Structure 1
Amino acid sequence: MNAYPAHSDAFTLAAPVRLWEEGFAADPYAYYATLRAQGPVGWAELAPGVSAYVVTDRRAALDMLHDTESFSVDPRPWERTVAADAPILGMMRWRANALFADGDAHIRYRRTLLDAFDLVEPHDLRERVHRAVDTLVSRFGPDGEADLVTQFARPMMAMVFNSLFGLPDSESGRLDAALGQMMEGGARAADGEVEYGKYVMELIGAKIAERGDDLTSRLLDHPLELTPEEVTWQVFLTLGAGHEPSANLISNALSRILGNAEYYSTLTSGSRPVMDAVLEVLRYETPLANYGAHFARRSMSFHGMWLQAAVPIVISFGAMGYFAEKDFADAHHPHDASHMSWGAGPHSCPVKQPAVLIATEAVERLTQWLPDLDPVLPRERLSWRPGPFHRSLNALPVRFTPRTPDRTPAPTPDQAGDRA
């Protein structure tokens, strides 16, 4: 199914760039260069036989994200054209939540998310991150070595988000495994989607039976009166979108920091804030590399490409970041808003401040405990997980002076100033 779409004779589709290949994970930039050579909008496969347009140009992306009359985020017309076992459906199938809704339904769903997260105080979120980091460092700190992906970034995000949504730390491993499988979009994607769905359903059932001081309970009790099914899909979206990209944001930031000894020393000495490193990843190596799928409401010409209705149009935040880093390699504007990791327009990320806070606090706390982290491998030898959607490390092995966390770590100079 999902044959190549019909197109105007004035537009000829190039051979699709296969974003599902193993080579894409190893060297996405060669694939982005091929896509960019096709123009602002390229032609790709997200999975074998599943085609999509890919936007690699910032101006084209902004035009699409702000044009709700020409473009929809509802994938249901497209879903009818793909095989039921397509491995990327776990990431792209329609659900009754803010990501896949247009118009008034989108406004309603987004309002509930904004209101629920507004009740999470920054100091409370910071404490949750610190508790999770301290717990994990207590496990691997005495060993003098660790994998900062599987032993730190991923389990830490599962612990933080479980606490926010109302589940205990003991469930964190299950959440992490299910989301990892679904995001990769490969042979195990369907199993990951099923397991993650069970996870969310069990959470909703527990909170319907007994409310708590958590995001799930706030969504259930919101004045806009979401149905239990709508709450389920809101949690499905936000728990997954919070965990997976944030875990990759942390590990990508750590890999960039540790891969540059001079850069690392400026962070640990306090002469440069950790947030700079986090924002650098969002700008140049965003963890959610290709997503934000839209669909043309009618067949149309758009930035030199003939778009067929009901065919996915994916935004390549990764390609835009890569070309920005090449074009502005000597520029340093760590606090600007030029990156597009949060999207734009009505569907821009509603909780970007908490995401940045979590990643920044996680890296700060880890480097307070273990200030002499030493990467085992140079960055160019690290391996990356397959999948068309993310930029995600398999592992980030490090060595350090063994330490047992038995007291609060002393903050670096800039961190002490931040707390004043």
Structure 2
Amino acid sequence: MNAYPARADAFTLSAPVRLWEEGFAADPHAYYAALRAQGPVGWAELAPGVPAYVVTDRRAALDLLHDPATWSHDPRPWEATVPEDSPVLGMMRWRPNTLFADGDAHIRYRRSLTDAFDLVEPHDLRERVHHAVDVLVGRFGPAGSADLVTEFARPLMALIFNNLFGLPDSESGRLDAALGAMMEGGDRAAEGEAEYGRYVLELIAAKSVRRGPDITSRLLDHPLALTPEEVTWQVFLTLGAGHEPSANLVSNALSRILGNADYYSTLTSGSRPVMDAVLEVLRYETPLSNYGIHFARESVSFHGVWVQAAVPVVVSYGALGHFAEQDFAGTHHRHDASHLSFSAGEHACPVKQPALLIATEAIERLTQWLPDLQPVLPRERLSWRPGPFHRSLTALPVRFTPHSPDQAGDRS
């Protein structure tokens, strides 16, 4: 099959917008503008030689997300057209889990996940987050400086999700490194995917021998009787989907907060909730910027574009947020702008509330320990990790008054 499918005569084929370029990480807005100039559905490359349709219009995105009769999440027909060494396969190849399933299979997988997470009480999750924050602040707090990406947001999510899925804190660094390589979609993507796969297989093997009060054990014992392979791929999806976007959500929110001293003061004083900052990121700088991947069951005309089957159709949550921020700039209605960062329709995120709780509690706990965080660099000088799928800082250096959580008078 030709990697670049033909289009309807009414739609002029534009040069693909190359989302794999380093320039996309540095200035995604220029790339989103180029996509939007093509219409509601643009034409892009996710990797060299891997084209995709990209939805940049909210109405088109909602039409896509709410129409399972026209669209499928099964990538196998597309996968057969892509070289095995393609750097985006780690994020897009078919696996028997809720993300890549349709119909009854999707309902079955989704129910197993929601049931497992429903057994995690909010107060218990809050305590897990506080413990992880305290551990990390205990490491870097006495130094008076830190990188809130590599020393806080990313290791924080590794600690939290390792704990939820039943692995010890000592394994968290391995998880963080593997997922980071896979998400970037570069030369190390296959290596990251393989290492992450080994990590999950070892977890399943350990829990198959000895259960615990964790999500992995609950999936293994679920009444729907998932096979060990199905549980493996459910964990592969959920552990990764929990860690990587949540880490980026926290670091992106912290960068926006710290980049505005007045904003930061309203949060640390308690006059404005941290949730405001988290929702602002979800609306305007979402951590998973291009995903929600669908495939037309048959070639179809969609918002003026002839979409061929077996070619990915990607929802650009990043573009939707960028244009929404432009639309609301200078008005007093910014807080009313809704977002699609958790997707919509049958495949909307099944664990949205735990994700929000983790992000808000993490930021609140950090700023309670270190209320005088000061960014080392202005926000416009921060750098971003490459990759077509995410909006992810490489670093967020800060200074603060040295502090240790175990010093006299600290909260328990």
TM-score (norm 2): 0.98
What is the letter of the counterpart of residue 240 of structure 2?
G
SS in 1 for 2:294: strand
Paired residues for 1:78-157 under 5 Å = 78-157=78-157
Is 1:339 matched with 2:339?
Answer: yes
Provide closer, same or farther for how the CA distance between residues 408 and 163 of structure 1 changes in structure 2, counting only shifts above 3 A. Answer: farther
The residue number in structure 2 matching 1:416 is: none
The residue number in structure 1 matching 2:182 is: 182
Q: Post-superposition shift, 1:405?
A: 1.0
Which segment is superposed worse, 378-387 or 324-333?
A: 324-333
The residue number in structure 2 matching 1:370 is: 370
Q: Distance in 2 between matches of 1:196 and 1:361?
A: 27
Which segment is superposed worse, 247-256 or 327-336?
A: 327-336
Q: Post-superposition shift, 1:8?
A: 2.2
Provide closer, same or farther for how the CA distance between residues 333 and 157 of structure 1 changes in structure 2, counting only shifts above 3 A. Answer: farther
**CA RMSD between the two structures:** 1.3
Identity of aligned residues (%): 81
Q: C-alpha deviations, 1:25-80, integer Å up to 9, x for none? A: 00000000000000000000000010000000000000011111110000000000
Q: Post-superposition shift, 1:337?
A: 7.1
Q: Post-superposition shift, 1:114?
A: 0.5
Is 1:240 matched with 2:232?
Answer: no
The residue number in structure 2 matching 1:10 is: 10
Q: Distance in 2 between matches of 1:332 and 1:187?
A: 44
In structure 2, runs of 5+ residues without a counterpart are: none
Aligned residues: 411
The residue number in structure 1 matching 2:20 is: 20
Q: Confirm or deny: 8 A CA contact 1:2 1:49 kept in the other structure.
A: no
Q: Confirm or deny: 8 A CA contact 2:8 2:305 kept in the other structure.
A: no
Q: Distance in 2 between matches of 1:371 and 1:186?
A: 37
Which segment is superposed worse, 250-259 or 335-344?
A: 335-344
What is the letter of the counterpart of residue 232 of structure 2?
T
What is the letter of the counterpart of residue 209 of structure 1?
V
What is the letter of the counterpart of residue 109 of structure 1?
Y
Q: Distance in 2 between matches of 1:312 and 1:101?
A: 15
Provide closer, same or farther for how the CA distance between residues 359 and 331 of structure 1 changes in structure 2, counting only shifts above 3 A. Answer: farther
SS in 2 for 1:272: coil
Q: Confirm or deny: 8 A CA contact 2:328 2:334 kept in the other structure.
A: no
The residue number in structure 1 matching 2:204 is: 204
Q: Confirm or deny: 8 A CA contact 2:16 2:51 kept in the other structure.
A: yes
The residue number in structure 2 matching 1:382 is: 382
Q: Post-superposition shift, 1:3?
A: 1.7
In structure 1, runs of 5+ residues without a counterpart are: 412-420
The residue number in structure 2 matching 1:415 is: none
TM-score (norm 1): 0.96
SS in 1 for 2:39: coil
Paired residues for 1:68-87 under 5 Å = 68-87=68-87
Q: Post-superposition shift, 1:12?
A: 1.9
Q: Post-superposition shift, 1:335?
A: 6.4
The residue number in structure 1 matching 2:256 is: 256
What is the letter of the counterpart of residue 228 of structure 1?
P
Q: Post-superposition shift, 1:329?
A: 1.5
Q: Confirm or deny: 8 A CA contact 1:259 1:375 kept in the other structure.
A: yes
Q: Post-superposition shift, 1:332?
A: 5.1
Q: C-alpha deviations, 1:129-154, integer Å up to 9, x for none? A: 00000000000000000000000000
What is the letter of the counterpart of residue 180 of structure 1?
G
Q: Distance in 2 between matches of 1:305 and 1:362?
A: 43
Q: Distance in 2 between matches of 1:7 and 1:199?
A: 42
Q: Distance in 1 between matches of 2:203 and 2:337?
A: 35
The residue number in structure 1 matching 2:324 is: 324
Q: Confirm or deny: 8 A CA contact 2:147 2:396 kept in the other structure.
A: yes
Q: Post-superposition shift, 1:325?
A: 0.4
